[in-house]
Chains A and B, each alone.
Chain A
Protein backbone atom coordinates (compact mmCIF):
# COMPACT_ATOMS: atom_id res chain seq x y z
CA UNK A 1 0.00 0.00 0.00
CA UNK A 2 2.78 2.36 0.92
CA UNK A 3 4.60 1.63 -2.32
CA UNK A 4 1.39 2.13 -4.26
CA UNK A 5 0.93 5.53 -2.66
CA UNK A 6 4.58 6.28 -3.24
CA UNK A 7 4.37 5.62 -6.95
CA UNK A 8 1.09 7.45 -7.52
CA UNK A 9 1.08 10.18 -4.88
CA UNK A 10 1.50 13.13 -7.24
CA UNK A 11 -0.86 11.63 -9.80
CA UNK A 12 -3.56 11.31 -7.13
CA UNK A 13 -2.88 14.85 -5.90
CA UNK A 14 -3.08 16.19 -9.43
CA UNK A 15 -6.37 14.46 -10.14
CA UNK A 16 -7.77 15.71 -6.82
CA UNK A 17 -6.69 19.26 -7.72
CA UNK A 18 -8.02 19.09 -11.28
CA UNK A 19 -11.37 17.58 -10.32
CA UNK A 20 -11.65 19.66 -7.15
CA UNK A 21 -11.24 22.88 -9.13
CA UNK A 22 -13.85 21.71 -11.62
CA UNK A 23 -16.26 20.94 -8.78
CA UNK A 24 -15.69 24.38 -7.23
CA UNK A 25 -16.36 26.13 -10.55
CA UNK A 26 -19.34 23.88 -11.22
CA UNK A 27 -20.74 24.56 -7.75
CA UNK A 28 -20.60 28.31 -8.37
CA UNK A 29 -22.97 27.91 -11.29
CA UNK A 30 -25.12 25.11 -9.93
CA UNK A 31 -25.42 25.92 -6.25
CA UNK A 32 -24.24 29.51 -5.93
CA UNK A 33 -20.91 28.81 -4.24
CA UNK A 34 -18.56 31.78 -4.16
CA UNK A 35 -15.19 30.07 -3.70
CA UNK A 36 -14.29 30.03 -7.39
CA UNK A 37 -16.61 31.76 -9.85
CA UNK A 38 -16.30 31.97 -13.61
CA UNK A 39 -14.00 29.68 -15.55
CA UNK A 40 -10.34 29.30 -16.52
CA UNK A 41 -10.51 32.32 -18.85
CA UNK A 42 -11.30 34.62 -15.97
CA UNK A 43 -12.62 34.02 -12.49
CA UNK A 44 -13.05 35.41 -9.03
CA UNK A 45 -11.59 33.68 -5.97
CA UNK A 46 -13.74 34.07 -2.83
CA UNK A 47 -15.76 36.68 -4.74
CA UNK A 48 -12.86 39.07 -4.30
CA UNK A 49 -9.56 38.17 -5.98
CA UNK A 50 -9.74 38.46 -9.78
CA UNK A 51 -7.80 35.92 -11.84
CA UNK A 52 -7.44 36.07 -15.60
CA UNK A 53 -5.76 34.05 -18.31
CA UNK A 54 -2.68 36.08 -19.33
CA UNK A 55 -2.61 34.51 -22.82
CA UNK A 56 -6.23 35.55 -23.45
CA UNK A 57 -5.37 39.06 -22.25
CA UNK A 58 -2.36 39.14 -24.60
CA UNK A 59 -4.62 38.26 -27.54
CA UNK A 60 -7.04 40.99 -26.45
CA UNK A 61 -4.17 43.46 -26.31
CA UNK A 62 -2.95 42.74 -29.84
CA UNK A 63 -6.57 42.65 -31.08
CA UNK A 64 -6.86 46.25 -29.93
CA UNK A 65 -9.21 45.83 -26.97
CA UNK A 66 -9.07 48.23 -24.05
CA UNK A 67 -7.79 46.27 -21.06
CA UNK A 68 -9.78 46.95 -17.90
CA UNK A 69 -8.15 47.30 -14.48
CA UNK A 70 -9.82 44.18 -13.08
CA UNK A 71 -8.46 42.18 -15.98
CA UNK A 72 -4.93 43.50 -15.49
CA UNK A 73 -5.01 42.72 -11.77
CA UNK A 74 -6.28 39.23 -12.61
CA UNK A 75 -3.50 38.73 -15.14
CA UNK A 76 -0.90 39.88 -12.61
CA UNK A 77 -2.20 37.45 -9.97
CA UNK A 78 -2.06 34.48 -12.34
CA UNK A 79 1.28 35.45 -13.86
CA UNK A 80 3.02 35.85 -10.50
CA UNK A 81 1.51 32.56 -9.28
CA UNK A 82 2.82 30.56 -12.22
CA UNK A 83 6.12 32.43 -12.27
CA UNK A 84 6.68 31.01 -8.80
CA UNK A 85 5.36 27.47 -9.09
CA UNK A 86 6.26 26.72 -12.70
CA UNK A 87 4.37 27.91 -15.76
CA UNK A 88 3.17 24.62 -17.04
CA UNK A 89 1.98 23.54 -13.60
CA UNK A 90 -1.24 24.91 -15.07
CA UNK A 91 -1.12 22.17 -17.70
CA UNK A 92 -0.70 19.21 -15.38
CA UNK A 93 -2.44 20.42 -12.23
CA UNK A 94 -5.34 22.57 -13.48
CA UNK A 95 -6.17 22.09 -17.17
CA UNK A 96 -9.03 19.61 -17.71
CA UNK A 97 -7.61 18.57 -21.10
CA UNK A 98 -4.68 17.02 -19.23
CA UNK A 99 -6.93 14.20 -18.01
CA UNK A 100 -7.96 13.46 -21.61
CA UNK A 101 -4.44 13.48 -23.03
CA UNK A 102 -3.06 11.51 -20.07
CA UNK A 103 -5.74 8.89 -20.71
CA UNK A 104 -4.81 8.77 -24.40
CA UNK A 105 -1.14 8.51 -23.55
CA UNK A 106 -1.77 5.75 -21.02
CA UNK A 107 -3.78 3.76 -23.56
CA UNK A 108 -1.11 4.42 -26.16
CA UNK A 109 1.51 2.86 -23.91
CA UNK A 110 -0.74 -0.09 -23.03
CA UNK A 111 -1.69 -0.79 -26.66
CA UNK A 112 1.92 -0.22 -27.74
CA UNK A 113 0.79 1.99 -30.57
CA UNK A 114 4.30 3.40 -30.90
CA UNK A 115 5.39 0.02 -32.23
CA UNK A 116 3.26 0.36 -35.35
CA UNK A 117 4.22 3.98 -35.85
CA UNK A 118 7.86 3.74 -35.00
CA UNK A 119 9.58 6.14 -32.69
CA UNK A 120 9.95 8.91 -35.26
CA UNK A 121 7.48 11.64 -34.48
CA UNK A 122 6.20 13.40 -37.61
CA UNK A 123 5.95 16.84 -36.01
CA UNK A 124 8.15 19.16 -34.04
CA UNK A 125 7.38 20.14 -30.47
CA UNK A 126 8.26 23.68 -31.46
CA UNK A 127 5.02 23.80 -33.41
CA UNK A 128 3.27 25.27 -30.36
CA UNK A 129 5.45 28.37 -30.51
CA UNK A 130 4.61 28.84 -34.19
CA UNK A 131 0.92 28.48 -33.35
CA UNK A 132 1.35 30.91 -30.45
CA UNK A 133 2.87 33.48 -32.82
CA UNK A 134 0.21 32.78 -35.43
CA UNK A 135 -2.59 33.27 -32.91
CA UNK A 136 -1.23 36.72 -32.10
CA UNK A 137 -0.87 37.62 -35.79
CA UNK A 138 -4.45 36.56 -36.54
CA UNK A 139 -5.72 38.37 -33.45
CA UNK A 140 -3.99 41.54 -34.57
CA UNK A 141 -5.19 41.36 -38.17
CA UNK A 142 -8.77 40.34 -37.46
CA UNK A 143 -9.27 42.31 -34.25
CA UNK A 144 -10.45 39.18 -32.46
CA UNK A 145 -9.04 36.85 -29.83
CA UNK A 146 -8.16 34.13 -32.33
CA UNK A 147 -7.41 31.21 -30.02
CA UNK A 148 -10.27 31.96 -27.65
CA UNK A 149 -12.78 31.15 -30.39
CA UNK A 150 -11.31 27.70 -31.04
CA UNK A 151 -9.70 26.80 -27.71
CA UNK A 152 -10.78 23.30 -26.69
CA UNK A 153 -9.49 24.09 -23.19
CA UNK A 154 -12.00 26.82 -22.51
CA UNK A 155 -14.58 24.94 -24.58
CA UNK A 156 -14.32 21.92 -22.29
CA UNK A 157 -13.94 23.84 -19.04
CA UNK A 158 -16.72 26.29 -19.86
CA UNK A 159 -18.74 23.33 -21.06
CA UNK A 160 -18.42 21.45 -17.80
CA UNK A 161 -19.35 24.54 -15.78
CA UNK A 162 -22.01 26.12 -18.01
CA UNK A 163 -23.22 23.41 -20.41
CA UNK A 164 -21.25 21.34 -22.88
CA UNK A 165 -23.18 21.35 -26.19
CA UNK A 166 -21.02 19.65 -28.78
CA UNK A 167 -17.95 20.24 -26.60
CA UNK A 168 -17.70 16.47 -26.12
CA UNK A 169 -16.69 16.28 -29.77
CA UNK A 170 -13.67 18.50 -29.07
CA UNK A 171 -12.72 16.18 -26.20
CA UNK A 172 -13.02 13.14 -28.45
CA UNK A 173 -10.99 14.75 -31.24
CA UNK A 174 -8.13 15.49 -28.87
CA UNK A 175 -8.29 12.00 -27.37
CA UNK A 176 -8.18 10.31 -30.79
CA UNK A 177 -5.50 12.68 -32.07
CA UNK A 178 -3.24 11.91 -29.12
CA UNK A 179 -4.01 8.20 -29.26
CA UNK A 180 -3.63 7.50 -32.96
CA UNK A 181 -2.03 10.47 -34.72
CA UNK A 182 0.65 12.04 -32.59
CA UNK A 183 2.07 11.02 -29.24
CA UNK A 184 1.57 13.89 -26.77
CA UNK A 185 0.03 15.60 -29.76
CA UNK A 186 -2.15 18.29 -28.24
CA UNK A 187 -0.35 19.17 -25.00
CA UNK A 188 3.17 18.54 -26.26
CA UNK A 189 3.00 19.88 -29.80
CA UNK A 190 -0.05 21.98 -30.63
CA UNK A 191 -1.43 23.84 -27.61
CA UNK A 192 -0.33 27.51 -27.74
CA UNK A 193 -1.46 28.04 -24.14
CA UNK A 194 1.05 25.37 -23.13
CA UNK A 195 3.60 27.16 -25.29
CA UNK A 196 2.80 30.42 -23.56
CA UNK A 197 3.20 28.88 -20.12
CA UNK A 198 6.43 27.19 -21.26
CA UNK A 199 7.87 30.61 -21.96
CA UNK A 200 6.46 32.03 -18.71
CA UNK A 201 7.76 29.09 -16.67
CA UNK A 202 11.37 29.37 -17.83
CA UNK A 203 12.23 31.29 -14.71
CA UNK A 204 10.03 29.62 -12.11
CA UNK A 205 11.33 28.56 -8.72
CA UNK A 206 10.02 25.02 -8.30
CA UNK A 207 12.03 22.55 -10.36
CA UNK A 208 12.47 18.83 -10.71
CA UNK A 209 16.02 17.94 -9.69
CA UNK A 210 17.99 14.95 -10.93
CA UNK A 211 20.49 13.18 -8.65
CA UNK A 212 22.74 11.37 -11.03
CA UNK A 213 24.54 9.40 -8.32
CA UNK A 214 21.28 7.49 -7.53
CA UNK A 215 20.29 6.84 -11.15
CA UNK A 216 20.31 3.25 -12.39
CA UNK A 217 19.51 4.23 -15.98
CA UNK A 218 16.20 2.33 -16.01
CA UNK A 219 14.69 5.18 -18.08
CA UNK A 220 11.22 4.75 -16.57
CA UNK A 221 11.12 8.52 -16.12
CA UNK A 222 11.70 9.15 -19.81
CA UNK A 223 9.02 6.63 -20.77
CA UNK A 224 6.39 8.25 -18.59
CA UNK A 225 7.35 11.88 -19.21
CA UNK A 226 5.04 13.70 -21.64
CA UNK A 227 7.86 16.12 -22.47
CA UNK A 228 10.75 13.66 -22.37
CA UNK A 229 13.17 16.08 -24.06
CA UNK A 230 13.38 18.05 -20.81
CA UNK A 231 14.99 15.04 -19.10
CA UNK A 232 18.11 15.14 -21.28
CA UNK A 233 20.36 15.04 -18.20
CA UNK A 234 19.12 11.70 -16.90
CA UNK A 235 22.05 9.47 -16.00
CA UNK A 236 24.51 12.08 -17.16
CA UNK A 237 24.60 14.95 -14.73
CA UNK A 238 22.92 16.08 -11.51
CA UNK A 239 20.99 19.03 -12.83
CA UNK A 240 17.62 20.63 -12.27
CA UNK A 241 15.12 20.40 -15.14
CA UNK A 242 15.37 23.93 -16.43
CA UNK A 243 13.20 23.74 -19.56
CA UNK A 244 9.95 25.66 -19.33
CA UNK A 245 8.31 22.79 -21.15
CA UNK A 246 8.42 20.66 -17.97
CA UNK A 247 4.94 20.78 -16.47
CA UNK A 248 5.99 19.80 -12.94
CA UNK A 249 3.60 16.86 -13.18
CA UNK A 250 6.07 14.84 -11.10
CA UNK A 251 5.33 11.53 -12.83
CA UNK A 252 9.10 11.07 -13.24
CA UNK A 253 9.62 11.51 -9.50
CA UNK A 254 7.07 8.89 -8.52
CA UNK A 255 8.05 6.26 -11.10
CA UNK A 256 11.68 6.49 -10.03
CA UNK A 257 12.51 3.62 -7.69
CA UNK A 258 15.96 4.93 -6.87
CA UNK A 259 15.38 8.44 -5.49
CA UNK A 260 17.18 9.93 -8.46
CA UNK A 261 14.54 12.62 -8.96
CA UNK A 262 12.80 15.03 -6.61
CA UNK A 263 11.39 18.53 -6.33
CA UNK A 264 13.71 21.34 -5.42
CA UNK A 265 13.63 25.08 -5.19
CA UNK A 266 15.76 26.60 -7.89
CA UNK A 267 18.99 27.61 -6.27
CA UNK A 268 20.43 30.48 -8.22
CA UNK A 269 23.88 30.20 -6.63
CA UNK A 270 24.11 26.52 -7.48
CA UNK A 271 22.98 27.16 -11.03
CA UNK A 272 25.71 29.72 -11.44
CA UNK A 273 28.22 27.14 -10.30
CA UNK A 274 27.09 24.63 -12.90
CA UNK A 275 26.95 27.30 -15.55
CA UNK A 276 23.23 27.01 -16.25
Chain B
Protein backbone atom coordinates (compact mmCIF):
# COMPACT_ATOMS: atom_id res chain seq x y z
CA UNK B 1 0.00 0.00 0.00
CA UNK B 2 2.57 2.50 1.09
CA UNK B 3 4.73 1.54 -1.84
CA UNK B 4 1.98 2.54 -4.23
CA UNK B 5 1.64 6.01 -2.81
CA UNK B 6 4.65 7.63 -4.50
CA UNK B 7 3.31 6.36 -7.84
CA UNK B 8 0.16 8.42 -7.41
CA UNK B 9 2.10 11.41 -6.19
CA UNK B 10 4.07 11.51 -9.39
CA UNK B 11 0.99 12.71 -11.23
CA UNK B 12 1.52 16.13 -9.73
CA UNK B 13 -0.60 18.79 -11.35
CA UNK B 14 1.06 21.78 -12.92
CA UNK B 15 1.15 24.95 -10.77
CA UNK B 16 -1.57 27.48 -11.56
CA UNK B 17 -0.61 30.13 -14.06
CA UNK B 18 -0.54 33.70 -12.77
CA UNK B 19 -3.41 34.63 -15.01
CA UNK B 20 -5.55 31.77 -13.76
CA UNK B 21 -4.65 32.62 -10.18
CA UNK B 22 -5.60 36.25 -10.72
CA UNK B 23 -8.94 35.36 -12.29
CA UNK B 24 -9.74 32.85 -9.54
CA UNK B 25 -8.83 35.37 -6.86
CA UNK B 26 -11.02 38.01 -8.45
CA UNK B 27 -13.89 35.53 -8.75
CA UNK B 28 -13.47 34.63 -5.11
CA UNK B 29 -13.48 38.30 -4.09
CA UNK B 30 -16.57 39.08 -6.12
CA UNK B 31 -18.30 35.92 -4.87
CA UNK B 32 -17.60 36.68 -1.24
CA UNK B 33 -18.67 40.30 -1.62
CA UNK B 34 -21.92 39.18 -3.28
CA UNK B 35 -22.60 36.64 -0.55
CA UNK B 36 -21.76 39.07 2.24
CA UNK B 37 -23.69 41.85 0.53
CA UNK B 38 -26.90 39.83 0.40
CA UNK B 39 -26.61 38.61 4.00
CA UNK B 40 -25.86 42.15 5.15
CA UNK B 41 -28.69 43.70 3.10
CA UNK B 42 -31.20 41.11 4.30
CA UNK B 43 -30.24 41.70 7.91
CA UNK B 44 -30.41 45.49 7.62
CA UNK B 45 -33.73 45.24 5.79
CA UNK B 46 -35.19 43.11 8.58
CA UNK B 47 -33.95 45.21 11.48
CA UNK B 48 -35.25 48.43 9.98
CA UNK B 49 -38.72 47.03 9.21
CA UNK B 50 -40.25 48.05 12.53
CA UNK B 51 -43.28 50.29 11.89
CA UNK B 52 -44.70 50.53 15.40
CA UNK B 53 -42.12 52.93 16.82
CA UNK B 54 -42.97 56.28 18.33
CA UNK B 55 -40.27 58.80 17.44
CA UNK B 56 -39.35 62.03 19.24
CA UNK B 57 -41.17 65.24 18.27
CA UNK B 58 -40.14 66.73 14.96
CA UNK B 59 -38.95 63.40 13.56
CA UNK B 60 -38.95 63.36 9.76
CA UNK B 61 -40.66 60.55 7.84
CA UNK B 62 -39.55 57.12 9.07
CA UNK B 63 -37.85 56.16 5.80
CA UNK B 64 -35.77 59.34 5.84
CA UNK B 65 -35.32 59.17 9.59
CA UNK B 66 -33.59 55.80 9.33
CA UNK B 67 -30.97 57.16 6.95
CA UNK B 68 -30.55 60.56 8.62
CA UNK B 69 -30.41 59.69 12.33
CA UNK B 70 -26.76 59.19 13.32
CA UNK B 71 -27.76 57.49 16.60
CA UNK B 72 -25.78 59.85 18.84
CA UNK B 73 -28.36 60.01 21.62
CA UNK B 74 -28.17 63.79 22.08
CA UNK B 75 -31.99 63.95 21.99
CA UNK B 76 -32.19 61.33 24.74
CA UNK B 77 -29.62 63.29 26.78
CA UNK B 78 -31.60 66.50 26.35
CA UNK B 79 -34.91 64.97 27.47
CA UNK B 80 -35.51 66.06 31.09
CA UNK B 81 -37.97 63.22 31.73
CA UNK B 82 -35.86 60.33 30.39
CA UNK B 83 -38.68 59.69 27.95
CA UNK B 84 -36.47 58.94 25.00
CA UNK B 85 -34.71 55.58 24.77
CA UNK B 86 -32.12 54.37 22.28
CA UNK B 87 -32.87 50.95 20.78
CA UNK B 88 -30.44 48.43 22.27
CA UNK B 89 -29.47 45.07 20.81
CA UNK B 90 -32.29 42.81 21.92
CA UNK B 91 -35.00 45.48 21.76
CA UNK B 92 -35.83 44.30 18.22
CA UNK B 93 -35.98 47.87 16.97
CA UNK B 94 -33.75 49.73 14.51
CA UNK B 95 -30.51 49.77 16.46
CA UNK B 96 -29.52 52.96 18.25
CA UNK B 97 -32.46 55.06 17.08
CA UNK B 98 -34.52 57.04 19.64
CA UNK B 99 -38.07 56.04 20.55
CA UNK B 100 -40.38 56.17 23.53
CA UNK B 101 -42.89 53.94 25.29
CA UNK B 102 -45.72 56.21 26.50
CA UNK B 103 -47.13 53.74 29.01
CA UNK B 104 -43.76 53.87 30.82
CA UNK B 105 -42.77 57.49 30.26
CA UNK B 106 -44.79 59.64 27.84
CA UNK B 107 -43.62 62.84 26.16
CA UNK B 108 -44.43 65.71 28.50
CA UNK B 109 -44.40 68.21 25.62
CA UNK B 110 -41.87 70.72 26.95
CA UNK B 111 -42.60 74.15 25.38
CA UNK B 112 -38.89 74.62 24.56
CA UNK B 113 -38.63 71.11 23.03
CA UNK B 114 -35.02 70.52 24.20
CA UNK B 115 -34.67 67.25 22.23
CA UNK B 116 -35.10 68.80 18.79
CA UNK B 117 -32.56 71.65 18.39
CA UNK B 118 -29.69 69.43 19.63
CA UNK B 119 -30.12 67.00 16.74
CA UNK B 120 -26.95 67.40 14.62
CA UNK B 121 -28.33 65.78 11.47
CA UNK B 122 -31.80 67.24 11.12
CA UNK B 123 -33.46 63.85 11.67
CA UNK B 124 -35.46 65.86 14.18
CA UNK B 125 -36.55 68.81 12.10
CA UNK B 126 -36.90 72.11 13.95
CA UNK B 127 -39.04 73.69 11.24
CA UNK B 128 -41.70 70.99 11.61
CA UNK B 129 -42.31 72.09 15.21
CA UNK B 130 -42.04 75.85 14.63
CA UNK B 131 -44.93 78.28 14.22
CA UNK B 132 -44.11 81.89 13.26
CA UNK B 133 -40.46 81.45 14.21
CA UNK B 134 -41.23 80.09 17.68
CA UNK B 135 -40.93 76.47 18.77
CA UNK B 136 -44.43 75.05 19.16
CA UNK B 137 -44.75 71.59 20.62
CA UNK B 138 -48.52 71.63 20.01
CA UNK B 139 -48.02 71.00 16.30
CA UNK B 140 -45.74 68.01 16.90
CA UNK B 141 -46.82 64.73 15.36
CA UNK B 142 -45.36 61.75 17.18
CA UNK B 143 -48.39 59.57 16.63
CA UNK B 144 -52.11 59.39 17.18
CA UNK B 145 -54.09 58.13 20.18
CA UNK B 146 -56.61 55.40 19.46
CA UNK B 147 -59.47 54.41 21.79
CA UNK B 148 -60.46 50.76 21.99
CA UNK B 149 -64.13 51.27 22.84
CA UNK B 150 -64.52 47.61 23.81
CA UNK B 151 -62.20 47.96 26.79
CA UNK B 152 -62.64 51.67 27.57
CA UNK B 153 -64.79 51.72 30.70
CA UNK B 154 -66.28 55.11 29.78
CA UNK B 155 -67.91 53.34 26.83
CA UNK B 156 -69.41 50.88 29.33
CA UNK B 157 -71.08 53.73 31.13
CA UNK B 158 -68.64 53.92 34.04
CA UNK B 159 -67.57 57.47 34.61
CA UNK B 160 -63.89 57.98 33.76
CA UNK B 161 -62.24 60.93 32.12
CA UNK B 162 -58.63 60.13 33.06
CA UNK B 163 -57.35 60.47 29.48
CA UNK B 164 -59.31 63.66 28.89
CA UNK B 165 -57.89 65.23 32.04
CA UNK B 166 -54.34 64.07 31.27
CA UNK B 167 -54.34 65.48 27.73
CA UNK B 168 -52.10 68.57 27.42
CA UNK B 169 -54.43 69.78 24.67
CA UNK B 170 -57.49 69.32 26.87
CA UNK B 171 -60.69 69.89 24.98
CA UNK B 172 -58.90 69.91 21.62
CA UNK B 173 -57.19 66.56 21.13
CA UNK B 174 -59.67 64.67 23.31
CA UNK B 175 -63.24 65.79 23.90
CA UNK B 176 -65.97 64.10 25.93
CA UNK B 177 -69.13 63.28 24.07
CA UNK B 178 -72.31 62.86 26.04
CA UNK B 179 -74.79 60.24 25.03
CA UNK B 180 -77.84 58.78 26.73
CA UNK B 181 -77.27 55.41 28.40
CA UNK B 182 -80.27 53.45 27.13
CA UNK B 183 -79.51 50.53 29.46
CA UNK B 184 -80.30 52.46 32.63
CA UNK B 185 -82.43 55.10 30.99
CA UNK B 186 -81.28 57.81 33.36
CA UNK B 187 -77.47 57.99 33.04
CA UNK B 188 -75.11 59.33 30.42
CA UNK B 189 -72.17 57.84 28.58
CA UNK B 190 -69.23 60.24 28.67
CA UNK B 191 -67.16 58.96 25.80
CA UNK B 192 -63.63 60.20 25.09
CA UNK B 193 -63.19 61.04 21.42
CA UNK B 194 -59.71 61.70 19.95
CA UNK B 195 -59.38 64.32 17.25
CA UNK B 196 -56.60 63.44 14.85
CA UNK B 197 -56.00 67.02 13.72
CA UNK B 198 -55.02 68.14 17.24
CA UNK B 199 -53.51 64.99 18.81
CA UNK B 200 -49.70 65.09 18.99
CA UNK B 201 -49.26 61.48 20.11
CA UNK B 202 -47.53 62.47 23.35
CA UNK B 203 -49.06 59.48 25.15
CA UNK B 204 -50.05 61.20 28.41
CA UNK B 205 -53.51 59.70 27.91
CA UNK B 206 -52.05 56.21 27.50
CA UNK B 207 -50.04 56.75 30.68
CA UNK B 208 -53.13 57.92 32.56
CA UNK B 209 -55.52 55.22 31.37
CA UNK B 210 -56.87 53.26 34.32
CA UNK B 211 -57.46 49.91 32.61
CA UNK B 212 -55.01 47.06 33.09
CA UNK B 213 -53.78 47.34 29.52
CA UNK B 214 -54.46 50.85 28.24
CA UNK B 215 -57.73 51.25 26.33
CA UNK B 216 -56.32 54.42 24.78
CA UNK B 217 -52.90 54.06 23.18
CA UNK B 218 -50.67 55.86 20.72
CA UNK B 219 -49.70 54.43 17.35
CA UNK B 220 -47.65 56.02 14.60
CA UNK B 221 -50.08 58.01 12.48
CA UNK B 222 -49.28 55.95 9.38
CA UNK B 223 -50.37 52.82 11.22
CA UNK B 224 -53.29 54.36 13.07
CA UNK B 225 -55.09 55.97 10.15
CA UNK B 226 -56.78 54.65 7.04
CA UNK B 227 -57.01 56.59 3.80
CA UNK B 228 -60.20 57.13 1.83
CA UNK B 229 -58.40 57.81 -1.42
CA UNK B 230 -59.59 60.06 -4.23
CA UNK B 231 -62.77 58.17 -5.10
CA UNK B 232 -64.78 58.99 -2.01
CA UNK B 233 -65.58 62.66 -1.68
CA UNK B 234 -67.58 64.64 0.80
CA UNK B 235 -69.85 66.09 -1.84
CA UNK B 236 -71.29 68.59 0.63
CA UNK B 237 -67.86 70.05 1.35
CA UNK B 238 -66.51 72.49 -1.25
CA UNK B 239 -62.92 72.02 0.01
CA UNK B 240 -63.11 68.26 -0.11
CA UNK B 241 -64.57 68.30 -3.63
CA UNK B 242 -61.30 69.73 -4.92
CA UNK B 243 -59.74 66.33 -4.33
CA UNK B 244 -61.72 65.10 -7.33
CA UNK B 245 -59.08 66.79 -9.47
CA UNK B 246 -56.54 64.21 -8.34
CA UNK B 247 -58.79 61.29 -9.17
CA UNK B 248 -57.82 59.40 -12.29
CA UNK B 249 -59.97 56.85 -14.07
CA UNK B 250 -60.05 53.24 -12.98
CA UNK B 251 -61.38 50.78 -15.54
CA UNK B 252 -61.98 47.22 -14.39
CA UNK B 253 -62.19 44.70 -17.18
CA UNK B 254 -63.75 41.29 -16.52
CA UNK B 255 -65.32 38.62 -18.70
CA UNK B 256 -68.70 40.33 -18.34
CA UNK B 257 -67.37 43.68 -19.56
CA UNK B 258 -67.09 42.21 -23.05
CA UNK B 259 -70.91 42.20 -23.34
CA UNK B 260 -73.19 45.16 -23.21
CA UNK B 261 -74.99 45.63 -19.92
CA UNK B 262 -78.31 44.58 -21.46
CA UNK B 263 -76.90 41.34 -22.95
CA UNK B 264 -75.26 40.54 -19.66
CA UNK B 265 -78.53 40.90 -17.76
CA UNK B 266 -80.43 38.83 -20.33
CA UNK B 267 -77.88 36.07 -20.38
CA UNK B 268 -79.42 34.40 -17.35
CA UNK B 269 -76.51 35.65 -15.31
CA UNK B 270 -74.71 32.28 -15.44
CA UNK B 271 -71.46 34.12 -16.08
CA UNK B 272 -71.77 35.80 -12.72
CA UNK B 273 -71.08 32.56 -10.95
* A166 partner, pick from B66, B74, B76, B89, beta carbons under 8 A: B89
Complex contacts, B44 vs chain A, CB 8 Å: 138, 142, 144, 146, 149-150
| A37 to B44 Cα, complex, angstroms | 27
Contact of A71 with B88 at beta-carbon distance under 8 Å, contacts A142-B45, A143-B63, A146-B40 already known: no
CB pair B70–A37 under 8 Å, yes or no, is no
0/1 interface trace, chain A 135-174, chain B, CB 8 Å (1 if under): 1011101111110111000110011011111110110000
Pair B72/A41 contact, Cβ less than 8 Å: yes
- Give chain A's interface residue range (CB within 8 Å of chain B): 35 or more
Nearest CB of B to A104, in Å: 20
Q: How far is the CA of A99 from the CA of B40 in the complex (A)?
A: 26
**List of A residues within 8 angstroms of B70 by Cβ:** 41-42, 52-53, 56-57, 60, 71, 145, 148
The smallest beta-carbon distance between A132 and chain B, in angstroms, is 11
Instruction: Find B73's partner among A74, A134, A137, A158 (CB 8 Å cutoff).
Output: A158
Is the pair A38, B74 in contact by a Cβ cutoff of 8 Å?
A: yes
The segment from B91-99, B160-168, B201-209, B220-228 that touches chain A is B91-99
Contacts of A149 on B, CB cut-off 8 Å? 43-44, 47-48, 94-96
Do A37 and B74 touch across chains, with their CB atoms under 8 A apart? yes
Q: Which residues of chain B from 53 to 89 have any CB-CB distance to chain A below 8 Å in the complex?
A: 63-64, 66-68, 70-74, 76-77, 85-86, 88-89
Q: Which of B47, B67, B72 contacts A143 (CB 8 A)?
A: B67
Say whether A145 contacts B67, CB under 8 Å.
yes
Q: Knowing A71-B120, A143-B67, A144-B67 are in contact, say whether A29-B88 is a contact too (CB < 8 A).
A: no
Does A65 lie within 8 Å of B71, measured CB to CB? Answer: no
**Assembled-state Cα–Cα distance A235/B124 (Å):** 55
Majority secondary structure, A binding face: helix
| Known contacts A65-B121, A163-B86, A167-B89; A150/B96 CB under 8 A | no
Contact with A along B174-202 (1 / 0, CB 8 A): 00000000000000000000000000000
The residues of B with any CB-CB pair to A shorter than 8 Å are 29, 32-33, 36-37, 40-41, 43-45, 47-48, 63-64, 66-68, 70-74, 76-77, 85-86, 88-91, 94-96, 118-122
- List 9 extra interface pairs beyond A43-B72, A53-B70, A144-B67, CB under 8 A: A29-B73, A38-B72, A41-B71, A41-B96, A52-B120, A66-B122, A143-B63, A158-B86, A170-B89
